[in-house]
């Protein structure tokens, strides 16, 4: 089963190594940071999201074509989102059916809008090709288009592409710094297509790809592209050529990848159906995961394999060179640890520019220094990736050397807990998640350390549920998984505070007070005899139970209202009388301690269930304050209430709870008492988070 825990959501599972399936409706970790405790093992199955490189190329080709293209398994991410918005602005019709298949009705090379401002975020796979296509369309058909992005996009060079397009006759203005976005593309203007189009190939292959995608729109005669300098990232150009052929344009090239000919009369035609294969760059993190941590069973990766058109699938060769054991099928990989420690390597990474970043973190687990060469393109990506990787690796304690187009990483023995700055770069975040396996090193100096990933949401660029998927196939020692307990009397606000703290940290939630009611309700629904304690106890481990934003979900159904019914309370009393049920529920509560962490609220979380929790909070408020809160809550729901009666009931319940023989209401000896009578929920949350930060090994 997949780990279904995001934000303040917890889903109870029983398998130690579940299958992690993509779930587009999951909420990603939209939080300032995500702490990864030391991780100790990995196994299971991962289904990859669609390839970013293929997705945006297919979208543009479908948008420029005649006819309707049905796109299967499209990546849902920030980069595809901006491409889709741009195509819609240009007049493409986009419809998604119930199965998630996107239908794109193309514009046949004739934009409906001749004046548009397009925001393209930090998506190079949208900015570069759209610049070329719209520059040529504006020149031939008239129009004015402005293309812009986030600040980092305005730092990413596009001058070589602009120079090539200007040489063709396209009027292009750089609205900020020359050679960088934002850009204004205008027309009409006569094009000069008789001479070869020249473009540099040694900075980014996306410039050549942009021309290859755009020039078929104006190929009345053969159009020749000549590459100056050595072409880097040839596998990405190969993807472009394969997809052009799918859409009816068969480009000829020489053996040296220096000359490309777009045939006269080329015209885009929809192939009808296109399937986007899984992202090979994203596969690299799980290939590395298998090489590092899959000792008992493999990591199976579905979506790429020997039939892939993506060059980054060759990352497997590098992983094998470092000692990974890999089995390969047409559309799958299975990876497990082979050599340990990993073997150091010295590698020209021109053929796997994006996936090679993963090798930099794998190098920490190697038997000697690892050198990655021919990676100059890293410096013009989402960030200067050579500088970023060197800086963050050093935070962990590693010795790192860097040059203009190379990086050397030495193995690490004395690990430091570090907060990894991700630079709004998805690949930095995903790579450094692998540092959490430092506890597997046999000759490590000192205890295993956690890793903090700042701005984890940046993975939305290509793999929105990366961390959820990762947690679905990894294992941690139970004592390494952090727990915060929040105990307190009825109506003290502990449930709301628990939700707030959990959401801030990306942790799961345990509402222990609902468990007996849920058990009684579930047993009744399944027709069990509530007097049969053994039968009810056997049901408990099978409950598909989640706590989400104050709601209780049973089998994905919100049963919060049912739990408040008097009849459910009676069922809870019946099942709670059985010792077997109480023992089963005790274990169920322990089972909620899942990655990446847990915030548990109740009466005895800090005393009986999680006595070793590093932070225990005992929440209090006066009976008068709690009665007033409960009164307002009931009145807001249209339920009549008397504030004096509520106060008397709360005081009587406090007395009963404190006097219970089993698990009485009392603060743990090491709990911090928090009286929130005069505090807002936000103030209480921030105070608890400050206490938590004091207990973490990361800098403030």
Tens digits of residue pLDDT in 38-56: 999 999 999 999 999 999 9
Are residues 419 and 698 in contact, defined by beta-carbon separation less than 8 angstroms?
Answer: yes
Tell me the pLDDT tens digit for each residue of 214-241: 999 999 999 999 999 989 889 999 999 9
**Regarding the domain delimited by 52-275, which CATH topology (the fold level of the hierarchy) does it fall under?**
UDP-n-acetylglucosamine1-carboxyvinyl-transferase; Chain (3.65.10)
- Report, as an integer, the average pLDDT of 318-336: 97
Is the pLDDT assigned to residue 631 strictly greater than 90? no
Q: What is the pLDDT of residue 489?
A: 85
pTM of the model: 0.86
Question: Which residues are annotated as catalytic?
Answer: 354
Q: Give ranges for CATH 3.65.10.10 in the chain.
A: 10-46+280-477, 52-275
H or E element, residue 90: helix 78-90
| C-alpha to C-alpha distance for 673 and 678, rounded to whole angstroms | 14
Rounded CA separation 384/382 (Å): 7
Confirm if 86 and 126 have CB atoms less than 8 A apart.
Answer: yes
Rounded CA gap, 243 and 639, in Å? 62
Domain spanning 481-507+596-700 has what CATH number?
3.40.50.300
Across the range 335-351, mean pLDDT stands at 97
CATH 3.40.50.300 in the chain is located at 481-507+596-700
* pLDDT tens readout for residues 436-469: 999 999 888 999 999 999 999 999 999 999 999 9
- Please choose, from the candidates 148, 20, 33, the residue with its C-alpha nearest in 3D space to the C-alpha of residue 692: 33
Contact 458, 156 (CB under 8 A): no
Interacting residues of 151 by C-beta distance below 8 A, sequence separation 6+:
none
Grade residue 63 by pLDDT with cuts at 50, 70 and 90.
very high
* Paired strand residues for 117: 146
130 vs 138: CA distance, rounded Å:
11
CATH class of 10-46+280-477: alpha beta
Strand order, beta sheet including 370-373: 346-348, 370-373, 406-409, 400-402
Q: Is 594 helix (H, G, I), strand (E, B) or coil?
A: coil
């Amino acid at each position: 089963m997949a780990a279904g825990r995001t934000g303040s959501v917890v889903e109870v599972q029983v398998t130690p190594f579940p299958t992690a399936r993509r779930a587009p409706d999951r909420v990603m970790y939209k939080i300032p940071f995500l702490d990864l405790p030391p991780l100790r093992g990995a196994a299971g199955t991962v289904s990859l999201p669609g390839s970013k490189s293929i997705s945006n190329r297919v979208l543009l080709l479908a948008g420029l074509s005649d006819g309707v293209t049905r796109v299967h398994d499209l990546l849902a991410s920030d980069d595809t989102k901006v491409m889709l918005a741009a195509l819609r602005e240009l007049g493409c019709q986009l419809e998604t059916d119930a199965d998630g298949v996107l239908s794109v009705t193309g514009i046949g090379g004739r934009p409906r809008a001749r004046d548009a401002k397009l925001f393209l975020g930090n998506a190079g796979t949208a900015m570069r090709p759209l610049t070329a296509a719209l520059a040529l369309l504006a020149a031939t058909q008239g129009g004015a288009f402005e293309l812009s992005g986030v600040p980092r996009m305005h730092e990413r060079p596009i001058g070589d592409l602009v120079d090539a397009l200007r040489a063709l006759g396209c009027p292009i203005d750089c609205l900020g710094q020359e050679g960088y976005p934002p850009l204004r593309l205008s027309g009409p203007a006569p094009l000069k297509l008789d001479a070869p189009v020249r473009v540099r190939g040694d900075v980014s292959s996306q410039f050549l790809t942009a021309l290859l995608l755009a020039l078929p729109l104006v190929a009345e005669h053969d159009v020749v592209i000549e590459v100056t300098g050595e072409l880097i990232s040839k596998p990405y150009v190969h993807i472009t050529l394969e997809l052009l052929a799918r859409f009816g344009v068969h480009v000829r090239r020489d053996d040296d990848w220096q000359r490309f000919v777009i045939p006269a009369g080329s015209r885009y035609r929809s192939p009808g159906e296109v399937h986007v294969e899984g992202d090979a760059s994203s596969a690299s993190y799980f290939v590395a995961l298998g090489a590092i941590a899959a000792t008992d069973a493999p990591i199976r990766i579905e979506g790429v394999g020997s039939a892939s058109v993506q060059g980054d699938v060759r990352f497997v060769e590098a992983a094998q060179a470092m000692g990974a054991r890999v089995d390969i099928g047409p559309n799958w990989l299975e990876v497990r640890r082979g050599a340990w420690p990993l073997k150091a390597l010295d590698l020209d990474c021109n053929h796997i520019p994006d996936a090679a970043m993963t090798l930099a973190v794998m190098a920490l687990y190697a038997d000697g220094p690892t050198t990655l060469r021919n990676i100059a393109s890293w410096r013009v990506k989402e960030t200067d990736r050579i500088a970023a990787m060197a800086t963050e690796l050093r935070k962990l304690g590693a010795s790192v050397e860097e040059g203009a187009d190379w990086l050397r990483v030495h193995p690490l023995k004395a690990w430091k807990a570090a907060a990894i700055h991700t630079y709004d770069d998805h690949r930095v975040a995903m790579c450094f998640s692998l540092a959490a396996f430092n506890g597997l090193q046999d000759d490590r100096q000192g205890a295993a350390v956690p890793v903090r990933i700042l701005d984890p949401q940046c993975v939305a660029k290509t793999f929105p549920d990366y961390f959820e998927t990762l947690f679905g196939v990894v294992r941690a020692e139970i004592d390494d998984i952090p727990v915060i307990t929040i105990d307190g009397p009825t109506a003290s606000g502990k449930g709301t505070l628990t939700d707030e703290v959990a959401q801030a940290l990306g942790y799961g939630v345990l509402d222990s007070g609902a468990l007996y009611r849920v058990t009684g309700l579930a047993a009744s629904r399944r027709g069990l005899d509530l007097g049969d304690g053994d039968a009810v106890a056997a049901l408990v481990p099978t409950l598909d139970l989640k706590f989400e934003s104050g709601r209780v979900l049973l089998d994905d159904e919100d049963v919060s209202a049912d739990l408040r019914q008097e009849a459910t309370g009676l069922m809870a009393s019946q099942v709670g009388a059985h010792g077997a049920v109480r023992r089963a529920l005790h274990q169920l509560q322990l089972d909620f301690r899942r990655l990446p962490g847990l915030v548990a609220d109740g009466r005895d979380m800090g005393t009986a269930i999680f006595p070793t929790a590093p932070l225990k909070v005992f929440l209090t408020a006066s009976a008068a304050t709690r009665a007033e809160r409960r009164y307002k809550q009931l009145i807001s729901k249209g339920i009549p209430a008397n504030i004096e009666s509520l106060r008397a009931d709360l005081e009587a319940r406090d007395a009963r709870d404190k006097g219970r023989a089993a698990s009485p209401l009392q603060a743990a000896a090491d709990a911090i008492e928090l009286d929130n009578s005069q505090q807002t929920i936000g103030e209480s949350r921030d105070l608890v988070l400050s206490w938590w930060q004091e207990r973490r090994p990361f800098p403030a």
